[in-house]
Amino acid sequence: MAAEVDVSVVIPFYNPGADIDDCLTSMVQQTISADRYEVILVDDGSTDGSDQRVAGWVERYPSVLSLHRIAASGGPARPRNIGLTKARGRYVQFVDSDDTLALSALEHLVAIADRSAADIVVHKISAGGPRNIYHQLFRRTATNLTVDSCPQLLRNGTVCKLFRRQFLVDHDVRFPEGDTYIEDQHLCLRTYARAQSIALVSDLVCYFHWQRRTAGDHFGDANVDPASYRHEVETLLDLVDTELAAPATRFAAVWRYYRGEVLGRLRGAAMLRYDDAYRRALVAQLHELAVSRFPDAVHDQMPAIVRTESRLLRDNDTEGLTSLSEQLEKLRLHAVARDVRWADGRLILQVDAHLRYADADFRYERDGDDWLIPREFAPGVAAADRRWSADDDSELDIDLATIARADSSLWSTTDGLGMQVDPDGRPSFTGTVSIDPASLAGGKALADGIWDLRLRLAFSGLQRSAGIQAGDGTSEEIVMPGGSATAFWTRRARRLALRIGTATDQTSPA
């Protein structure tokens, strides 16, 4: 029998094309020694020559990489299960074929798992831009968590985590095979429920998600079959009942699946891309699911825009949901820095931001002492479901993100930022923010290079981000006195960025 290693990386793939090269580069350049890890690549019947591309990598790095071919199964579940069966590692890390790992990720994660005796290590993910996945979760590093002590873990439903392999074996945890759409959620729910110790790693961006996606065929690209999808969510809810004992945790899980797996299918650009027949079929199935499996208490706890969506779904109102998505897609975040300066090694900026349409600001409606989501968003929805309150908005979150131009590493701060509603109903997102380049990166200094600054907003079920424009009287460049950092406005887009060291603004984003 082959010797045990510290960690096995399992990568399923189907027609990734050249995208997999970056993934494999990050695998073979890991800082952990080659005798401590293995990378198991499972080809799910690729038809574009990707198996030969990967075979070339295996020939060059046979001590680390191995390739296994199977008949096409149509999804990542079976190849992941095959990889798990072949794994020799004490730990298993799942990676998608168009994603990459930080070069020190495996060494860092194994060390944390060993120190904390963790069954699962949930680590920070960057999505290649301002969308830092589950960013509210990754504001601390912690160990010895459980799903009952930290139900926010349920919002992280990706399996791109580190698992103790014996833990998976002992509980016979595998991915559900067949025509599945949310197999990640099934596995995450079972493992979260059974884990005795979960570690949360926020001091290193370990995983870079969907970095390229240039190839044509990827797992998860197709529209879901509405009836099959409804059945799969029902199966997930059955697991909630059998796996989770604590009432508060069960409620958090049901809330999360209604918010993400049901209502999340019916909003924004995705909703508008569906053709009319498919949209009606999907709404009809999810309407039946909503009224039969998600109680009013879950609906009532949704933030205002999501609660409005929920009411439209519960009324089986396809036109209303489509119209609401059209309204939301018109909203953009507009952010301006009124004052930018250095003080004691920190970059200080006064930020003022609003939600805008093309020609006007977003405003609430007044209803006595209350604020309402505008009637034009959903004319048929009563005021009770459109009512907004900061105290009830569980998703209200504002931060300033600092994003590396080189690799999309992202670090953020919430300090000094807040929200208020002006007397005319216009929500304002403002504050004086302080950034310390010497400690922002998980307690470490930002790496040399260009870092773009963006304001990010999660608000009432809406997520938006914006580069920061120059306000009146701001200087062209603001150099740190006696330091090696400069704040400047990018050449093309005129947005705020940081230069650490001697990097130049050669690829400024639009």
Q: How many CB atoms lie within 10 A of CB 382?
A: 11
Compute the half-sphere exposure of residue 507: CA atoms within 13 Å on the CB side of its CA.
Answer: 8
How deeply is 47 buried, as exposed, middle or buried, from its count of CB atoms within 10 A (0-12, 13-18, 19+)? exposed
Taking alpha carbons only, the member of 194, 110, 109 closest to residue 153 is 194
Tens of pLDDT, residues 113-153:
999 999 999 999 987 655 545 677 888 899 999 999 999 99
**Residue 109 binned pLDDT confidence (cut-offs 50, 70, 90):** very high
Q: What is the pLDDT of residue 508?
A: 47
Query: Which residue carries 């260009």 as its tokens?
Result: 450
SS (H, E, C) 248-306: HHHHHHHHHHHHHHHHHHHCHHHHHHCCHHHHHHHHHHHHHHHHHHCCHHHHHCCCHHH
**Residue 389 binned pLDDT confidence (cut-offs 50, 70, 90):** confident
Q: What is the pLDDT of residue 220?
A: 57
Tens of pLDDT, residues 313-332:
999 999 999 999 999 999 99
Map residue 491 onto helix, strand or coil: coil
Cα 416 to chain centroid, rounded: 24
Mean pLDDT, the chain, rounded, equals 92
Tens of pLDDT, residues 14-54:
999 999 999 999 999 999 999 999 999 999 999 999 999 99
Enumerate domains of the chain plus CATH numbers: 5-208 (3.90.550.10), 226-329 (no CATH), 332-500 (2.60.40)
* Cα separation, 357 vs 452, whole angstroms: 24
Q: What is the pLDDT of residue 473?
A: 67
In the chain, % helix, strand, coil (3-state, to 5) comes to: 35, 30, 35
**Residue 472 binned pLDDT confidence (cut-offs 50, 70, 90):** confident
Amino acid letter at 142? A
Residues 6+ positions from 141 with CB-CB distance below 8 Å: 200, 201, 202, 203, 442
pLDDT at 181 over 90: no
Q: What is the pLDDT of residue 451?
A: 97
pLDDT at 193 over 90: yes
* Cα separation, 42 vs 480, whole angstroms: 50
pLDDT at 290 over 70: yes
* Cα separation, 445 vs 479, whole angstroms: 17
Tens of pLDDT, residues 346-361:
999 999 999 999 999 9
Q: What is the pLDDT of residue 216?
A: 47
Task: Flag the least confident range among 67-76, 184-193, 389-398.
Answer: 389-398
* Average pLDDT for 259-287: 95
- CA 429 to each of CA 240, 351, 380: distance values in angstroms, whole numbers, following the listed order: 37, 8, 29
State the DSSP string of 324-365. Answer: HHHHHHT-EEEEEEEEEEEETTEEEEEEEEEEE-SSSB--PE
* pTM to 2 decimal places: 0.92
